[in-house]
Amino acid sequence: MEEIIALAKRRGFIYQGSEIYGGLAGTWDYGHLGLALKNNIKNTWWKRFVLDRDDMYGVDAAILMNQNVWKASGHVAGFFDPLVDDVKTNKRYRADHLLLEAGVDIKGMSLKEMDVVIKEKGVKSPEGNALGDVRQFKMMFTTHVGANQDEDSVSYLRPETAQGMFVNFKNTLDSFHPKLPFGMAQIGKAFRNEIAPRDFIFRTREFEQMEIEYFVNPNSWEESFEHFRQQVHAFADDVGLTPSKIHDVEIAPEDLAHYSKRTIDFEFDFPMGQKELYGLAYRTDFDLKSHSDASGTDLSFFDEETKERFIPHCIEPSLGVDRTVLAVLTDAYSEDEVGGEKRVYLKLSPKIAPVLIAVSPLLKNKPQLVEKAREVYSILKKEFPGRIMFDDNGNIGKRYRRQDEIGTPYCITVDFDTVEKDQTMTLRYRDSATQDRLSIEQIIDSVKKAI
Ligand code: GAP
């Protein structure tokens, strides 16, 4: 993980948030290449889950919402983490994490039971000190909207994008008149005041989610649940994750979130262990029903075929963007030896690599090579918008090393044969570090097949 954090900073993927002021815990800033990687991941998700289907409707809801949304959703009353203090240092920890680290099975444990076990077993803080009482810690960030700072002006930074879809369910019905089943899709920021942000971008206080709320007839929820289980795996394949590193974990009934009747966590083999990457939940009619009751707006659906009116049930695949970035980076990180020298490279899928092709002149002080390389660069830029880099920094060996480190799958070098002989150029493959001599048309064809 240390190597990956260092590479991410050195090469302009991810920096500590507010770094020049000493940072702000649980926040990270994406640089030019990290942003490109993130955008490619989000576009891949949007393509699979929205553009390639006929049953999805996109939404981009406001992050700030009426406080009643969060009362109806159950978050105001129940979105807490179990908190415990080190009595000497006053440092705060997640009680469930400390118990897990102490080898205790915490399945279905209440706050009170955690407190009892910590005391009985004498579980200590990581500094070796005694722990205080386990209590609830509110995870939503609270703010006030407008000039007044009273109960009525309270709002929250959303802890999930999902509610932005439930509150727009009726708008979507009225605008598009979809038949069941249909889904709503959203990509956006979510915020949680995590007690212990940790493991780089794995657990942060500000992150992005890619969520679908898929509305179904309650009789057929299992079919859609299975469909989205497969779609989540297909998406993981799209972004190049190693299938054997993903594990479907059925959540025990006593550990389900308040809205869920069934949940599968997709766990991934991260460097710090097997941890949750994504979730898939059967949210029943919990949310639409709660919002119907609380807002007084009828959120039922009339099925023209069966002439039945009912509140649809909901299947929710929920995917974290930042966890995808971390999984992809840790899976892609590779070391080998090329020409007797140690090499670090990111084996990123060509579908999401921030730079798809880097174009270089063999020598940067030969105008005819630079001019030709610029011409090749312009042609490729039109074919693969936003994914081509012109690189004439340092010698060719250093350029390859740098491109390997940022995961560029292809490097093209324009040399004297290109301009003086046959217009062909070298295409170098990142993973094998081997080269072919090809025309630009052949290169475009072969790269198009890979993305
Ligand atoms: N709407 C359902 C929901 O939000 P969740 O399991 O709490 O469910 C879904 O979150 C996904 O969001 C997780 O699987 C993970 O990918 C991502 N996620 C949750 N908390 C996160 C955090 N603190 N930092 C980064 N990603 C997070």
Residue of 201, 268, 323 with the most ligand 1 atoms within 8 Å of its CB, for mutation: 323
User: Do 118 and 204 sit in the same domain of this protein?
Assistant: no
- Model pLDDT, residue 258: 86
**Any domain includes 344:** no
In testing the pocket of ligand 1, which one of 165, 209, 324 has its CB within 8 Å of the most ligand atoms? Answer: 209
> What pLDDT does 78 receive?
85
> Tens place of pLDDT for every residue, the chain, 451 residues?
999 999 999 999 999 999 999 999 999 999 999 999 999 999 999 999 999 999 999 999 999 999 999 999 999 988 998 999 999 999 999 999 999 999 998 877 888 899 999 999 999 999 999 999 999 999 999 999 999 999 999 999 999 999 999 999 999 999 999 999 999 999 999 999 999 898 999 999 999 999 999 999 999 999 999 999 999 999 999 999 999 999 999 999 988 998 999 999 999 999 999 999 999 999 999 999 999 999 999 999 999 988 999 999 999 999 999 999 999 999 999 999 988 899 999 999 999 999 999 999 999 999 999 999 999 999 999 999 999 999 999 899 999 999 999 999 999 999 999 998 888 999 999 999 999 999 999 999 999 999 9
Same domain, residue pair 372 and 438 = yes
The 3-state DSSP class for residue 335 equals strand
- Check if 194 has its Cβ closer than 6 Å to any atom of ligand 1: yes
DSSP H helices, 169-210, are: 169-176
79 with 258: CB under 8 angstroms?
no
Residue 265 Cα: closest atom of ligand 1: 14
pLDDT of residue 107: 79
Q: Is residue 143 in a domain?
A: no
Is 11 in the same domain as 97?
no
What domain count does the chain have? 3
pLDDT at 111: 86
Query: Distance (Å, rounded) from C-alpha 24 to C-alpha 157?
Result: 17
Q: How far is the CA of 126 from the centre of ligand 1 (A)?
A: 25
319 Cα–ligand 1 center, Å: 7
Are residues 95 and 227 located together in one domain of the fold? no
Q: Is the shortest distance between the CB of 265 and ligand 1 below 6 Å? A: no
Q: Which two tokens stand for residue 329?
A: 């980076």
Q: Is residue 159 part of a domain?
A: yes
Q: What is the pLDDT of residue 72?
A: 96
For ligand 1, mutation pick of 318, 324, 326, 328 (most atoms within 8 Å of CB) = 318
**What's the pLDDT score for residue 269?**
98
CA distance 282 to 179: 20
Q: Are residues 296 and 422 in the same domain?
A: no
Q: Is 185 in the same domain as 98?
A: no
The rounded Å distance from CA 323 to ligand 1 centre is 9
Q: Residues of 219-253 as b/e, b for ≥16 C-beta within 10 angstroms?
A: eebeebbeebbebbbebbebbbbeeebbeeeebee
- CATH code, domain with 425: 3.40.50.800
| Distance in Å, CA 366 to ligand 1 centroid | 52
Same-domain check for residues 128 and 161: no
Domain assignment present for residue 266? The answer is yes
Q: Is residue 338 in a domain?
A: no
Same domain, 249 and 310: yes
Looking at the structure, tell me whether residues 268 and 198 fall in a common domain: yes
DSSP state letters, 203-224: B-SEEEEEEEEEEE-GGGHHHH
Angstrom CA distances, 316 to 112, 130, 212, 224, 273, stand at 30, 40, 5, 10, 25
For ligand 1, the distance from its centroid to the CA atom of residue 140, given in whole angstroms, is 13
- Among the atoms of ligand 1, which is closest to the Cα of residue 161? 1
- 252 CA distance to ligand 1 centroid (A)? 18
Instruction: Give 85's strand partners.
Output: 92
Give the CATH number for residue 104.
Answer: 3.30.40.230
Residue whose CA is at the smallest distance from ligand 1 atom 21: 203
174 and 247 co-located in one domain: yes
Does the Cβ of 75 fall within 6 Å of ligand 1?
A: no
Domain that holds residue 113: 80-138
Judgement on whether residues 226 and 84 belong to the same structural domain of the protein: no
Same-domain status, 240 and 92: no
Whether 434 is in a domain gets the answer: yes
